[in-house]
Amino acid sequence: MSQPTELPELSAEEWTFIQNLRALPDEALRRRVHASLNELLFFFRHPKCEGMGVEGFPCGDPKSSCEECHQIWDMLDKVAERAKKP
């Protein structure tokens, strides 16, 4: 006999997000979105550049160069601004 699965409590925003993911029409597109979102979540959890950061101390995990890191943050800021527009 298997253990009952405990379902996590999700906010309305989280449910909407999941429904939007499931509504993607193409399996290949869903895989691409999932991979991209996983990379984006990694970036948010580990916002670090190679070498020295702007503040002059080592950033830590070398996932990207400092220039790439700043470009990503700039692009995310632009996307956030576009999402706010009606």
Q: pLDDT tens across 38-73, in order?
A: 888 887 777 666 555 555 445 554 555 677 777 887
Could you give the CA distance from residue 34 to residue 37 in angstroms, rounded to a whole number? 5
**Residue 64: count of CB within 10 angstroms of its CB:** 16
On whether both 52 and 41 belong to a single domain, the answer is no
Could you give the CA distance from residue 52 to residue 60 in angstroms, rounded to a whole number? 9
On whether both 37 and 52 belong to a single domain, the answer is no
On whether both 41 and 53 belong to a single domain, the answer is no
Domain count, the chain: 2
On whether both 84 and 55 belong to a single domain, the answer is yes
Instruction: Tell me if residue 35 falls in helix, strand or coil.
Output: helix
Residue 61 lies in a domain: yes
Helix axes of 12-22 and 27-45: crossing angle, nearest 10 degrees: 140
Q: Which of 5-9, 20-24, 65-69, 73-77 has the lowest mean pLDDT?
A: 65-69
Residue 6 lies in a domain: no
Residue 4 lies in a domain: no
Query: Which residue segment(s) compose the domain that 64 sits in?
Result: 47-86
